[in-house]
Amino acid sequence: MAIKPLHNEKDLLQRIADGDDRAFAELFRAYHEPLAKYIFTLLESVQMCEEIVQDVFVKIWENRLALPMQDRFTSYMFILTRNYTINCIRKIIRDRKQGQLYMDDALQYNEEQDAFKLDDEYQDVLNRAVAQLPTSQQKVLMFRQQGLKTREIAEKMGISTDSVKKYQQWAASSVAKFIKLHTTLGVVLMFIKH
C-alpha cells in the first residue's frame, strides 16, 4: 500500500502529540479513504473497513506522544492497518468455524433419542448455506446456540434487539432457500426454523 505523506505531516504529528484534536481530525480526513480502500480490497466489507480504520486511528491517538519520533508515519500506519486487518481475518475464520459447529450440533438429534445424523452430502449443503451468510448473521446463530437471549446477543454484538431478530430471520430464510435449491431434505428445514 503506497500512501503519499502529507506535506505538513511532521507538523501535524507534533500537534497531535501535544493533544491537538483538530490536527488529529485533519490527519484522519487525509488518510481515512486510502486506508479504507486498502482494507476493502482484502475484506470486501464496508462495515469492517470502517471498524478497522477507527481502531487504527484510536491506536494512533493512544500512542500520540511517540508520533513525532516516527520517521515514516505512513509505514507505521500501514503496519498498524495490516495487523488490525489480519486480526480481523483471523476473527472471521474463528467465527465461521464456531457458526459451522453450531449448525453441526443443531442438525443432530440427541443420541439418547435414537436420532439420525445427516449424511455427508446434506451436511456439506448445510455447511455451505451457513458459510454464505454474512458474519453478523453467523454470530447471531452462534450466540443462539450458546443459549443467549436476544437482549444478551444485542449487548455482545453492540446492536439493537431488533437487529438481532432481523439477523436471525434473515439467516433462517437464507439457509432455508439455499437448502431448497440444493436438496430436497425437508427435515433440515424443520431444524433451521427452530
Cα 20 to Cα 10, 13, 90, 161, distances in angstroms: 13, 9, 34, 38
Domain-located, residue 101: no
Is the C-alpha dihedral spanning 50, 56, 58, 61 positive or negative?
negative
Domain-located, residue 57: yes
Q: Do 69 and 125 belong together in one domain?
A: no
The domain tally of the chain equals: 2
The pLDDT assigned to 113 comes to 40
Task: List b or e across 131-161, with b for residues whose CB sees 16 or more CB atoms inside 10 angstroms.
Answer: eebebbbbbbbbbbbeebebeebbeeeebee
Q: Do 187 and 122 belong together in one domain?
A: yes
Give the structural domain span for 13. 9-90
Q: What is the CATH number of the domain that holds 61?
A: 1.10.1740.10
* Long-range pairs, 37-40, Cβ under 8 A, ≥24: 38/1, 38/81, 39/81, 39/85
Tell if the pTM clears 0.85, that is, is over it: no
The pLDDT assigned to 40 comes to 86
The pLDDT assigned to 54 comes to 92
Q: Confirm if 126 and 107 have CB atoms less than 8 A apart.
A: yes
Domain-located, residue 97: no
C-alpha cell at 187: 427435515
pLDDT under 70: residue ranges of the chain: 1-2, 98-123, 179-194
Q: What is the CATH number of the domain that holds 169?
A: 1.10.10.10
The pLDDT assigned to 186 comes to 42
CA angle 29, 31, 37 (to 5 degrees): 115
Domain-located, residue 98: no
Cα 116 to Cα 25, 112, 175, 192, distances in angstroms: 59, 11, 20, 16
H helices within the chain, ranges in order?
Answer: 9-17, 21-43, 46-62, 73-106, 120-131, 135-145, 150-157, 161-182, 186-193
